[in-house]
């Protein structure tokens, strides 16, 4: 090849590179123009509204709603957090706030009441009880206030005091309490203990910045002081949280230097691979991880890594399927944007994100990724796992509980209110493992419901009524009259019948709520674990070493 040819190829290459660069610059310039143009349109439109709209508009409210509507077209995790809500952001990441330490709720009469005082916190030490109705806070009457309003009044700087006036069942006069606020730290580990023959159990409710420390302390206590030989890690209904805590917790079980997950985003700085950095605490201890449909995000990172690395048996129902990573960015006037920046991938290379928010249906709706579009991946030992649908358990335990009368009793506060009355009449009860309502107690509950004129309409009956209306509208009502009548009789709620038919489910709910009044949240957990089907299966698997090994390594 002569010099002229070399020169021609060199100049052609320079031209091609310059053309590409020019093309990219042109695209970016056009994009910048579109952004600037539409922001200018928005500003002009808002100025015109403010000047000429027939009524006065509230600028902050209108703009905030427009921001939220815009972000709502993306995914449910990308949020605008204005300055006044940044304390909620801190609570989500740390589980920490200044206040009295009590969960509050709204009863059937729209009154704000104490739902649960946290054990050992200011509200508990001051003697507040579940069921107490809050009437005033620092002289402010609460009629018409929302749960959020009252929560803001109760919160404040630690070491400040708050005066609370409450109304209590069976007390004639209002009770006034002055409570000193404290820094409230919600323990991410709700409970841990021994649940079987040398089998430990840890319930993690959220991945806050103290989650790793809490899990580590629980493991060491169970290992050193209770001499456990296997462990159950319960991640059911854990919505997730901080990614680094998920990596740290996984590291307690797997060797140093292993990849736990990788993240990939549009911006290269979000392409990160996370590996374990320390020696594990329990590298060989048999492990079962419990998951359900509300196990999400960081919980799926841990359960997915344990499955992909064949480190533990995953038990329960398919997890939520949130394979997206968020970062918090500071914006003007001390606000924040929590924005989805990347997808994450488990050690096998799968992304468990179950919903494709980028591609919606024509009507704007979204749906789970169908199984036909998922892809197969291999675990460390060669087991097949799939992407696009959350974490599918190694052992599936179906939830047999159905929505019956117990749902309506709970949603209408009948369970809660009866527990309030029961606790007022009984100073103490047996331990969570031993307590059980008597037949007389259950009869008292039935009488309580009659005194409250409790009634309910089945969801199926509501749907049937709508169907009947549609049939009448379309002219088929008379044609289907007999069939509708027969169904209406079968779907008419019968309180007396259902209270006997679903007695076991109802008693379980009553027992758990009553136990909580005496032994707090941990007591309620201890009670429910006695008949927990997923835990029962975990104990079975961990109790059979050969079966445990065959699940993780079926080839051997």
Degrees (nearest 5) of the Cα angle 83, 88, 94?
125
- Radius of gyration for the chain, computed over Cα atoms and rounded to the nearest angstrom: 29
φ, ψ at 285 (rounded to 5°): -65, 125
Query: Angle 467-473-474 (CA atoms, 0-180°, nearest 5)?
Result: 90
50 is catalytic: no
| CA nearest neighbour of 387 among 465, 464, 321, 437 | 321
Q: Determine how many CB atoms are found less than 10 A away from the CB of residue 333.
A: 6
Is 308 assigned a catalytic role? yes
DSSP class of residue 280 equals -
Contacts of 350 (CB under 8 A, 6+ apart): 304, 308, 375, 377, 385, 386, 387, 388
Determine the 3-state secondary structure of 340 from DSSP. strand
DSSP string, 346-373: -TTS-----B-TTS--TTS---BPPGGG
Residue 37 designated active-site: no
For residue 391, which of 455, 344, 436 has the smallest C-alpha distance? 344
Question: Could you give the count of Cα atoms lying within 13 Å of 552 in the half-sphere of its Cβ?
Answer: 22
CA atoms of 81 and 86, how far apart (whole Å) = 6
Output the CA torsion sign for 544, 549, 551, 556: negative
Cα(219)–Cα(224) distance, rounded to whole angstroms? 8
Q: Report CA 207 to chain centroid distance, whole Å.
A: 11
C-alpha span between 479 and 126 (Å, rounded): 65
Query: What string of DSSP letters covers 229-244?
Result: SEEEEE-TT---B-HH
Q: How far apart are CA 291 and CA 300, in angstroms?
A: 8
Q: CA 485 to CA 248: how far, in whole Å?
A: 60
Nearest by Cα to 488 from 519, 521, 512, 460: 460
For residues 154 and 163, give the distance between their C-alpha atoms in angstroms, rounded to a whole number.
Answer: 9
CA distance 223 to 228: 5
Query: Among residues 129, 210, 322, 537, which one is catalytic?
Result: 322
With residue 522 as reference, give the H or E element that holds it.
helix 503-529
H or E segment to which residue 215 belongs: helix 211-225
Cα–Cα distance measured from residue 449 to residue 443, given in angstroms and rounded to the nearest whole number = 10
The secondary structure of 296-364, three-state, reads: CCHHHHHHHHHHHCCCCEEEECCCCCCCEEEEEEECHHHCEEEEEEEEEECCCCCCCCCECCCCCCCCC
Catalytic residue selected from 308, 387, 417, 508: 308
The active-site residue out of 190, 262, 297, 406 is 297
End-to-end alpha carbon distance in the chain = 61
Residues forming the active site: 297, 308, 322
């Amino acid at each position: 090849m002569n010099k002229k040819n070399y020169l021609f190829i060199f100049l052609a290459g320079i031209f091609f590179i310059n053309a590409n660069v020019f093309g990219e610059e042109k695209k970016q310039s056009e994009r910048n123009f579109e952004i600037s143009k539409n922001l200018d349109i928005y500003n002009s439109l808002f100025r015109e509204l403010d000047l000429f709209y027939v009524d006065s508009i509230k600028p902050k409210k209108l703009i905030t709603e427009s921001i939220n509507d815009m972000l709502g077209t993306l995914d449910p995790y990308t949020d605008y957090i204005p300055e006044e809500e940044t304390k909620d952001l801190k609570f989500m990441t740390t589980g920490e706030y200044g206040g009295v330490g009590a969960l509050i709720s709204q009863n059937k009469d729209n009154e704000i009441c104490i739902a649960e005082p946290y054990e050992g916190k200011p509200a508990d030490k001051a003697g507040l009880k579940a069921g107490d109705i809050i009437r005033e806070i620092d002289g402010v009457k609460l009629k018409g206030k929302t749960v959020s309003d009252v929560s803001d009044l109760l919160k404040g700087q630690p070491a400040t005091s708050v005066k609370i006036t409450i109304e209590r069942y069976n007390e004639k006069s209002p009770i006034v309490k002055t409570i000193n606020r404290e820094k409230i730290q919600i323990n991410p580990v709700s409970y841990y203990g021994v649940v079987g023959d040398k089998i430990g159990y840890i319930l993690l409710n959220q991945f806050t910045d103290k989650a790793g420390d809490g899990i580590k302390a629980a493991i060491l206590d169970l290992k050193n002081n209770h001499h456990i030989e296997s462990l159950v890690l319960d991640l059911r209904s854990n919505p997730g949280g901080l990614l680094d805590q998920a990596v740290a917790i996984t590291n307690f079980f797997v060797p140093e230097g292993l990849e736990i997950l990788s993240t990939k985003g549009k911006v290269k700085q979000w392409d990160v691979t996370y590996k374990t950095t320390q020696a594990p605490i329990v590298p060989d201890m048999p492990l079962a991880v419990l998951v359900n449909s509300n196990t999400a995000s960081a919980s799926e990172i841990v359960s997915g890594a344990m499955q992909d690395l064949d480190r533990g048996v995953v038990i329960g129902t398919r997890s939520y399927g949130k394979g997206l990573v968020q970062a918090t960015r500071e914006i003007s006037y001390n606000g924040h944007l929590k924005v989805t920046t990347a997808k994450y991938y488990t050690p096998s290379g799968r992304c468990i994100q179950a919903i494709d928010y980028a591609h919606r249906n024509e009507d704007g709706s979204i749906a789970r990724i169908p199984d036909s579009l998922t892809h197969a991946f291999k675990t460390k030992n060669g087991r097949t796992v799939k992407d696009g649908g959350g974490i599918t358990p190694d052992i599936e335990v179906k939830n047999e509980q159905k929505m019956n009368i117990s749902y309506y009793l709970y949603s209408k506060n009948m369970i809660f209110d009866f527990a309030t009355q029961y606790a007022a009449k009984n100073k103490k009860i047996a331990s969570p493992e031993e307590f059980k309502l008597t037949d007389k107690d259950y009869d008292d509950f039935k009488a309580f419901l009659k005194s409250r004129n409790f009634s309910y309409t089945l969801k199926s009956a509501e749907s049937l009524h709508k169907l009947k209306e549609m049939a009448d509208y379309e002219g088929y009502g008379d044609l289907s009259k007999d069939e509708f009548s027969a169904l209406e009789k079968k779907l008419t709620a019968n309180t007396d019948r259902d209270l006997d038919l679903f007695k076991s489910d109802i008693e379980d709910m009553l027992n758990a709520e009553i136990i909580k009044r005496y032994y707090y949240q941990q007591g309620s957990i201890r009670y429910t674990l006695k008949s927990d089907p997923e835990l029962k299966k975990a104990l079975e698997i961990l109790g059979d070493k050969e079966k445990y090994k065959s699940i993780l390594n079926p080839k051997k």
